Chains A and B, each alone.
Chain A
Amino acid sequence: MRELDFRHVRKGYESPAGGLLVALEDFTLTVDSGRFVTVVGPSGCGKTTLLRMAAGLVPSDDGGLIRIDGEPLAGPSPKMSMVFQGIGLMPWKSIFDNVALGLQLQAHRSKLTGDERERIAATLALVGLTGFERYYPHQLSGGMQQRVGLARALVRQPEILLMDEPFGALDAQTRAVLQDELLEIWNRVKSTVLFITHDLDEAIYLSDRVVIMSRRPGRIKQVLEVNLPRPRFSYDARAEPEFARLRSIAWQSIKEEL
């Protein structure tokens, strides 16, 4: 089981004016084991807040509950990995050492075993970065840097992968390539994925379910099931009538929130 479960999760912040700003309200959702679920919504709908809470970086307000496989979440979990839009590679670490950090902070041990070194090499191969082990992040393009970010997450063999607009800062071509690569990798590792984006096409193309949020305070507005056959990189899924139908529904729904 690798199930991520939200029950009445809520998050409010104190606004600078002194009032309470509710970012997310009564969010209840179960991300079933091995499923790819994407949350879309207008900016300010609390989707990044949701992911930061799921990652254990910020606590949810009293009354809400986030559980992994039934266990209440208490801080960052070794079962999870998060991929950030800003990537967040350590500029002073080589590509190999950046990926190694994912393991070192999971195991709380700086020395790597032989097996772990092999696992890092295999993960770099999985994201197509064999041969770049000794490079530093600033020597790589944005797309390659995000591949390293993905490798740092995957090397932990996470049961749950949290992705916060990971391709948001990339150009359209690189984004399309990385979407296909992500699907191919996901097809092999079978993690549960909770993905955040504001790009509807990306959401439909990648996901089993698309969760559409209302504007602030963010609530779940609509959940779309995407039944396009997988693997979707093996045919032109975006050209299917079903894709267009879902996209139209999602756009109508989102438009009301803008």
Chain B
Amino acid sequence: MSHSSLPLEPAKPKTPGGAASLLAALGRSTAAMLVLSGIGFLLLWQVISMNVSPVILPAPADVFVAFIALTASGELVSATLATIWPFAIGLVLGFVVGTVMGLLLGIYRPAARVLDPYIFVGWSIPNIAWLPLFIAWFGVGNLTLIIFVFISAVFPQLLTVEAGAKEADSFLVEVARSLGGHKREILYNVVLPSSLPYIMAGLRIAVGRALVGIIVGQLLIVATGIGYMFQFYGETLSLAKYFAPLIVIAVLAILLNRGVNWAERFFIPWKNRAFT
């Protein structure tokens, strides 16, 4: 048996000498590119802030000082914690419910035909329109906040997974049937794994929506956490401090995105990536 048909390691490119090689090396190093672009971004920020009032755009150094001060006082940490836990509960619930319902509706099409219009309407109504209703039903508190995050996450998850389960390769289902597979075995061995890329794609959207949900919710419902910091420092025009929660959200978003990337590689190792 020849192994020639197996993928081979690509040949390492030859390195040219001198400054060109340094640039080429930098171009290949993702870390170096990130550092360089970060420095460029801060420089640009500094230059602009020197030419406008600090009420319009504070200097990076002022933002850094404010960030340290808010961290040291504990305000930023407690606000972050107050944000993360309702976010996490709402997102996990939305992910689980959306995935399970999406799979079931993808398989049991008669049920889907009845429920799809409701789901579509639920998805189409802007989240913010639910808020007065939720406040009337569940009061002003973390319960309403969690439900708001849940609603933000569950619809994109459900719709994406349902589409994936519906598209499960009918040929592979037939192969499994020919081997004697019962409905439950086919669900577990064919439909569920073939839906995994969709489950992950849904999660990516759900994470973003849930993040918007938690900030908007905290701004408008409970007046706590990161969302409230935006409101407070925005209204008092303390822009240097306003950037601190912004940085927290940015870091959180990056970490979550990394987490989804990792989950994709872990759960979908067979997926061919055309671009890496």
Residues of A within 8 A of B (CB): 55-57, 76-78, 81-82, 84, 86, 88, 90-93, 101-102, 104-106, 108, 128-129, 131, 135-141, 144, 152, 156
Secondary structure at the A interface, as helix, strand, loop or mixed, is loop
In the complex, chain B residues 1-52 whose Cβ is within 8 Å of any chain A Cβ: 1, 5-7
In the complex, chain B residues 111-168 whose Cβ is within 8 Å of any chain A Cβ: none
Is there an interface contact between A128 and B182, defined as CB atoms closer than 8 Å? Answer: no
Once bound together, how far apart are the Cα atoms of A139 and B6, in whole Å?
6
The 6 closest A-B pairs by CB, nearest first: A88-B175, A141-B5, A105-B179, A92-B193, A105-B181, A82-B178
Residues of B within 8 A of A (CB): 1, 5-7, 171-172, 174-182, 185, 189-190, 193-194, 196, 268-270, 272
CB of B140, distance to nearest CB on chain A (Å): 46
- Indicate whether A128 sits within 8 Å of B1 (C-beta atoms), given known contacts A92-B193, A108-B185: yes
Is there an interface contact between A90 and B172, defined as CB atoms closer than 8 Å? Answer: yes
A102: which B residues are within 8 A, CB to CB?
Answer: 179
A selection of 26 A-B contacts at a CB cut-off of 8 Å is A55-B178, A57-B174, A76-B177, A77-B180, A78-B180, A82-B178, A84-B175, A88-B172, A90-B172, A92-B193, A92-B196, A92-B268, A101-B176, A101-B189, A102-B179, A104-B189, A105-B179, A106-B179, A108-B182, A135-B6, A136-B269, A138-B270, A138-B272, A140-B6, A144-B5, A156-B179
Once bound together, how far apart are the Cα atoms of A121 and B136, in whole Å?
64
The answer, among B5, B177, B182, for a CB contact under 8 Å with A57, is: B177
A93: which B residues are within 8 A, CB to CB?
Answer: 193
CB of B123, distance to nearest CB on chain A (Å): 29
Is there an interface contact between B5 and A140, defined as CB atoms closer than 8 Å? Answer: yes
Tell me the nearest residue of chain B to A130, going by C-beta.
B1
A105: which B residues are within 8 A, CB to CB?
Answer: 176, 179-181, 185, 189
CB of A114, distance to nearest CB on chain B (Å): 22
A106: which B residues are within 8 A, CB to CB?
Answer: 179-180
Once bound together, how far apart are the Cα atoms of A145 and B5, in whole Å?
11
A136: which B residues are within 8 A, CB to CB?
Answer: 269-270
B272: which A residues are within 8 A, CB to CB?
Answer: 138
Once bound together, how far apart are the Cα atoms of A28 and B182, in whole Å?
30
B6: which A residues are within 8 A, CB to CB?
Answer: 135, 139-140
Is there an interface contact between A86 and B171, defined as CB atoms closer than 8 Å? Answer: yes
Is there an interface contact between A76 and B1, defined as CB atoms closer than 8 Å? Answer: no
Once bound together, how far apart are the Cα atoms of A129 and B5, in whole Å?
13
CB of B170, distance to nearest CB on chain A (Å): 11
Once bound together, how far apart are the Cα atoms of A101 and B179, in whole Å?
8
Tell me the nearest residue of chain A to B179, going by C-beta.
A105
Is there an interface contact between B180 and A129, defined as CB atoms closer than 8 Å? Answer: no
Once bound together, how far apart are the Cα atoms of A91 and B270, in whole Å?
6
